[in-house]
Amino acid sequence: MTARLDKRTALVTGATSNIGRAIALALGAEGAHVVVSGRDSGRGERVVAEIRAAGGRADFVAADLDGSAAASRELAERSTGMLGGRIDILVNNAGIYPPSTTTTADEATFDQVYGVNVKAPFFLTAAVAPAMVESGGGVIVNLGSWITRLGVASNALYSSTKGAVETLTRAWAAEFGPSGVRVNAVSPGVVHEPSDEPLPGDVMMKGTPAGTHGRPEDIARAVVYLASDDSSFVQGIVLDVDGGRTSTAVIAA
């Protein structure tokens, strides 16, 4: 186990599976004491066990981040207590992605997606950032998405929430950066565990430099970089980790 994040504490939302799980494992492997947060306690405890088995420190805090300020404040308070009184690193990863189009998404779905994907990280950051400032600094890493910069007909609702998160990243960097809190974002491309069959998003990677989908660990390594002192002069960026999908011409194949 390396120690780029030794003696630091971290809260990762949506950390019980997929990208969130990979981020929690990676932060733990770098020495951080990680609060694994999510709705499924069984999966959360398994992630905690993985981190501990590798020699790291981790605890699980159940949370249903529905977008209410109260839910975000409660998670911040419980995690702060679990982590010995301070959160050094906040990773706003939790999000939902219900399939819908503009004409099929009803108001309840709209409110739910914006609640989880935008309001929850907004109020969680509002709860955590002032304490980071008071303690001398900290790091916030948000999860955006490649889909915010390439229009896809079936994803208007989800992509608009991630666009909001990436805008908040820049605004928060301006708001909190002068007080010692660095805020950046990672924008994942098509990412999933290896599969025997191609998944729907895989076609979007044809003709890109990578030529294939990424894995959750690819995103986790980028988050570790932004959370560590290696990126001490990096403020307000959205780091694309998408195999070149949004930065290069895609050749139809």
SS3 state at 46: helix
- Please identify which of the residues 97, 114, 158, 225 carries the catalytic annotation: 158
State yes or no: is 158 an active-site residue: yes
Which letter does DSSP use for residue 93 in this model? -
Return the closest-CA partner of residue 235 out of 185, 186, 184, 187.
184
Return the beta strands (E) in the chain as ranges: 9-12, 33-38, 57-62, 89-92, 138-143, 181-188, 238-241
Spatial separation of the C-alpha atoms in residues 127 and 129, rounded to whole Å: 6
Q: Residue 22: left if φ>0, alpha if ψ -120 to 50, beta else—which one?
A: alpha
Give the residue numbers annotated as catalytic, written as ranges.
Answer: 158
